[in-house]
Amino acid sequence: MSGSQSYDVIVVGAGAIGCAVGRELADDHEVLVVDKGSVGAGASGMAAGLTAPTLFSYASPAVAEHANEFMQEFSGTEGFEYHARPRMELIYPEDEDVARDQADEMASYGFPVSFVDADEVATRHPLLEMDRFGGAIEIADAGFVDDTYVYTRALARDAENRGAEFLTGVEIVDVATAGGAVVGVETHDRTLEAPHVVIATGWRTRALLADIVDIPTRPFLLQAATVSLDHEVGSEFPLGRVPAESVYFRPQTDGQLRLGGGEYLIDDPSTFAERMGDSGSVEERMHESGRTAQEVVNNGIDEEFRERLTRVAPLFVKELSSPSAVELTAGWGDVDGATADGEPIIDAPVDAPDGLVIATGFNGLGITKSPVAAAGVRAILTGEEAPFALDQFALDRLSGSVEFSLQDTFAMGRQ
């Protein structure tokens, strides 16, 4: 980056959101993406990698369709591969009626969703133990990203291929404004100039913009782990959840099983931050071990989550006969931002300086919704029509209070 250059757009934060936004704008804008750490070193590099736009956005079909299509189209770019796979929500008999209604509702929006009886699930997925369950909601158009660090870096490389520049190891301490409009961002020792600034700094956005606009998000912890299996889960193993037990699962491409959940609000997220450390060493260790970035970082899970995983895994994995058979070979966690309604903020708020766009509060679904952030920010900055309605992500839909509890994304199937 040359010292005095100014840009059309500066994107702050090189997670999945900032990289997807930078990539989306790079073809026809001079784009700089700045991160205080390195690309993918925040929550984006630590995610479990399930994508299920239909499950989480079916009531906004255009959102779900856009996110689904992007993963298919981007697969094969810069080392990234998307694995399309059906998603099975395993339902206890007492929740079956509600689950059937939910499957019908999702299907009514045109998505490939149905309720499948337990016998049929067991026949199609022989590694799933279905004895305790009444059946499953099958969402056919789901999938997973095996390593979200690789996904985030692929977005960044593709953004660079399209002309975006990246500046890492540089913290942005403020947004520079003049006459009510953005003129750039402040680092500790200089101003980087641009008439448009996109803030995509994850859970840290609220503090960064505290003097400019109130962002009602709360930090929360998410955790995931790898379970070692003798019989590798192959291409027939689906992804899914046991919603009543607050645990989700997916196969890994190395044949092991990945489990996730363990989500709760935390007051002081700084202890969970900076986990990824030196990305060079992470990549070296990934290369040496053949494991994902998340498994290499392996920064631990709490005891409650560990106990939950060892109790729940034998309930639905045929090979695991008891909790003592559950061997966790890696466990990790990181922080994301929550909003009161579980939807992100993708907006240029009216109260903020002109030229400021915010993309934050992805509620544990930022990998899934990264294409939505990219298309939304592009529409806001260019005035082009977005592929979906933007008002559902507007800041002013939220009351401004942070006195809310975490949306329970596992609630589906047991209400």
Shortest Å distance, C-beta 321 to ligand FAD: 27
Q: Which stretch binds ligand FAD (CB under 6 A): 67-75, 81-89, 104-112, 330-338?
A: 330-338
Closest residue by Cα to residue 57 from 371, 401, 397? 371
Q: Which stretch binds ligand FAD (CB under 6 A): 71-79, 201-209, 297-305, 393-401?
A: 201-209
Residues 53-112 that bind ligand FAD (CB under 6 A): none
Residues 252-281 that bind ligand FAD (CB under 6 A): 260
223 contributes a contact to ligand FAD by CB under 6 A = yes
Residue 292 contacts residue 286 (beta carbons within 8 Å): yes
Q: What are phi and psi of 261, to 5 degrees?
A: 150, -135
**Cα 194 to chain center, whole Å?**
28
The one among 25, 67, 91, 365 contacting ligand FAD by CB under 6 A: 365
Shortest Å distance, C-beta 130 to ligand FAD: 23
367 contributes a contact to ligand FAD by CB under 6 A = yes
Which tokens in the block code for residue 287?
Answer: 């290369």
Q: Residue 134 or 368: which CB sits closer to ligand FAD?
A: 368
308 contributes a contact to ligand FAD by CB under 6 A = no
Shortest Å distance, C-beta 258 to ligand FAD: 9
CA–CA dist 254, 237 (Å, integer): 12
Residues 33-62 that bind ligand FAD (CB under 6 A): 34-37, 41-44, 46-51
CA–CA dist 255, 227 (Å, integer): 10
159 contributes a contact to ligand FAD by CB under 6 A = no
CA–CA dist 38, 68 (Å, integer): 27
Q: Residue 122 or 224: which CB sits closer to ligand FAD?
A: 224
Shortest Å distance, C-beta 147 to ligand FAD: 12
Find residue 239's DSSP bridge partners.
87
Shortest Å distance, C-beta 87 to ligand FAD: 11
Number of alpha helices (DSSP H) and beta strands (DSSP E) in the chain:
11, 20
Query: Per-residue b/e over 16-52, b at no fewer than 16 CB within 10 Å?
Result: bbbbbbbbbbbeebbbbbbbbbbbbbbbbbbbbbbbb
Residue 287 contacts residue 279 (beta carbons within 8 Å): no
Q: Residue 205 or 310: which CB sits closer to ligand FAD?
A: 205
Shortest Å distance, C-beta 52 to ligand FAD: 8
CA–CA dist 221, 191 (Å, integer): 33
Shortest Å distance, C-beta 136 to ligand FAD: 18
Q: Residue 96 or 204: which CB sits closer to ligand FAD?
A: 204
Shortest Å distance, C-beta 94 to ligand FAD: 27
Q: Using DSSP, state whether 46 is helix, strand or coil.
A: helix
Which tokens in the block code for residue 20?
Answer: 């997807």
Q: Residue 133 or 272: which CB sits closer to ligand FAD?
A: 272
Contacts of residue 241, Cβ cutoff 8 Å, sequence gap at least 6? 87, 89, 90, 247, 248, 249, 410, 413
Q: Applying CB under 6 A, what is the total number of residues that bind ligand FAD? A: 41
Residue 109 contacts residue 61 (beta carbons within 8 Å): yes
295 contributes a contact to ligand FAD by CB under 6 A = no
Query: Per-residue b/e over 174-204, b at no fewer than 16 CB within 10 Å?
Result: ebbbeeeebbbbebeeeebbbebbbbbbbbb
Closest residue by Cα to residue 311 from 264, 266, 261, 265? 261
336 contributes a contact to ligand FAD by CB under 6 A = yes
Q: Residue 34 or 282: which CB sits closer to ligand FAD?
A: 34
362 contributes a contact to ligand FAD by CB under 6 A = yes
293 contributes a contact to ligand FAD by CB under 6 A = no
Cβ atoms within 10 Å of 291's Cβ, excluding its own: 20
Shortest Å distance, C-beta 371 to ligand FAD: 11
Instruction: Quickly tell me which residue has 């009886």 as its tokens.
Output: 117
Binding characters for ligand FAD, 1-30, by CB under 6 A (x = yes): -----------xxxxxxx------------
Residue 317 contacts residue 232 (beta carbons within 8 Å): no
Q: Residue 123 or 281: which CB sits closer to ligand FAD?
A: 281
Chain residues in the site for ligand FAD (CB under 6 A): 12-18, 34-37, 41-44, 46-51, 171-172, 200-202, 204, 208, 222-224, 260, 333-334, 336, 362, 364-368
